[in-house]
Structure 1
C-alpha cells in the first residue's frame, strides 16, 4: 500500500501496508474541521487529484478517508446511512465534493467515512486530546445534546484491512462503532479516570452524531467481534489513557 501522509492515521495504517500492494490510501487530508481555510481544502483536493491521476496510470485502487461527522448527516430524521448525506458545514461540503470527484473519475476506489477515531499520535485539537486539555483547566465547553461515536484507531485499521481483503470497491462505507455517546458521558469517564473535575459550559447547539453501520456489518460481518456496544467507548478511552501513561512513565 502506498500511504499518502505521515500523520495520525497514516502511522497506524502503515501496519497493514504490505498486505495491500495494489492500494493507494490518502491519509493527508484536512483534520481541523472548524478552522481549516481554502489553502487546506485546496491542498487536499490536489492530493486526491494526484492520486486519481496515478491510479489511472498504474491501476491502483484509491482509498479516500472522508468523514461521518454530524455535518454530513444533517437532515432532520436522518439515520446516518451513506445515501443520506446532506452537508451542513463547510468541512462536510468539502469532503463530499471530493467523494464525488473520486466517484466520477472512473478509477478503482473506496471511500471510508470515519467517525471520531481515538489513539496514539493524535493532534492536540482532535476530540480526546482537546477534552483532556480542557479538563485540566477546570472548564469544558459542551454542545447541548451533542453525541460522538468513538472508534479505536486500531479497529479502524482492522476494518480497512477487512474491506480491502474482501475486495470491496466502488462503495462509500461508514466506519464507526454505531453507538454514539453523549459528550458529557465521555467527559465524566475522563474525569473519573484522570481524577479531575471540571465545570461544563453548555452551548445550545444540538449535534446528534448518529451514524448507521448497517452497511459495514453487511460487508464485514466480523466487526461483531470488536466489542461494539453501549460501553465500548469506555474501553476505547481506557486504552488511550493507559497508552498515554505508558509514554509518560517510559515503559
Structure 2
C-alpha cells in the first residue's frame, strides 16, 4: 500500500502497508478548522484528491479515501447513522467531506471510502479530541458541548478493520469505521479526570445532538461481529491518556 500523508492515520497504517499492494491510502486530508485558512485547506484537499484519483485511474490501483463519521455528518437529529442516511450535514466540514466523496466516486478510479469516527491512540496531534481534553483537564477547565456524545475507536481496532476490508478486495463501497457505541462527553471527561487526577471545572456551551454511528455494513462486509461493550471507551482512554501523561513527564 502506498500511503499519502504523514499524520496520525498515515502512521497507523504503515504496519499493514506491505499486505495491500495496489492500494493508495489518501491519509492527508483536512482534520482541523483554521479559520484564516479554511478555504485554502479545502482547496488543497480537493486538488490532492483529484490528483490521486487520476493517478489511480491511470494505473488501475484502488484509492482508499478517509471521510468522516463524526457529528459533522451524522449529527442531525433523527439521523440513523447509516451510510445512506439522508439528513443534511451539520457543518461545513461534513459538507466538504461529502463533496470529496462525490469527487472520488465520479473520478473513474477504483475506490473504497471509509468514514472514520474519533480515532484514539498514541501519537495524536494536540488539537484532536483526547489530547485536547487531557490538556484542558490538566489546565483545570474543560469546555463541553451540552448533550454531546462521541464514538471513540482505538486506533489499533481501526487498523484491524481496515486490514480486513482491504483484504476482501471490495471497492465501490462507503463504510463506517467505528465502535458503534455513542458515549456522553461528560462520561469521557469523567474518565479523563480520573486518569489525570484532576477535577476540572466544566463549562457548557451550545446544545449538541447525540449521534450514533451504525457499523452494520462494516460487520457484513468484513464478515466479523465487531462487538464493543459499554465500557469499551474506558479501555481506549486508559491506553491513550496513559501514553500522553508519560510523554508529558519526559518533556
**TM-score class, shorter:** over 0.9
Mapped to 2, the partners of 1:52 and 1:107 lie a distance apart of 6
1:71 aligns with 2:57: no
- Is there any run of 5+ residues in structure 1 with no aligned partner, and where? none
Deviation at 1:52, TM superposition (A): 0.7
RMSD (Å), alpha carbons: 1.6
* SS of residue matched to 1:239: helix
Mapped to 2, the partners of 1:33 and 1:113 lie a distance apart of 18
Deviation at 1:126, TM superposition (A): 0.6
1:212 aligns with 2:214: yes
* SS of residue matched to 1:222: coil
Deviation at 1:247, TM superposition (A): 4.2
8 A Cα contact 2:30 2:45, kept in partner:
yes
1:154-233 matches, within 5 Å, as 154-224=156-226, 228-233=228-233
CA pair 144-178 structure 1, distance change in 2 beyond 3 A = same
- Is there any run of 5+ residues in structure 2 with no aligned partner, and where? none
In the alignment, which residue of structure 1 is the partner of 2:127? 125
In the alignment, which residue of structure 2 is the partner of 1:241? 241
Deviations, residues 176-229 of structure 1 (Å, cap 9, x unaligned) = 0000100010000011111111111011312313111111111123252xx612
Mapped to 1, the partners of 2:33 and 2:112 lie a distance apart of 22
Deviation at 1:76, TM superposition (A): 3.1
Runs of 4+ aligned residues of structure 1 deviating over 3 Å after TM superposition are 33-36, 244-250
Mapped to 2, the partners of 1:223 and 1:119 lie a distance apart of 22
In the alignment, which residue of structure 1 is the partner of 2:17? 17
1:1-150 matches, within 5 Å, as 1-33=1-33, 35=35, 37-85=38-86, 86-150=88-152
Mapped to 1, the partners of 2:136 and 2:245 lie a distance apart of 18
8 A Cα contact 1:45 1:98, kept in partner:
yes
* SS of residue matched to 2:191: helix
CA pair 76-107 structure 1, distance change in 2 beyond 3 A = same
8 A Cα contact 2:54 2:107, kept in partner:
no
Mapped to 1, the partners of 2:126 and 2:25 lie a distance apart of 24
Mapped to 1, the partners of 2:65 and 2:191 lie a distance apart of 32
Mapped to 1, the partners of 2:71 and 2:137 lie a distance apart of 24
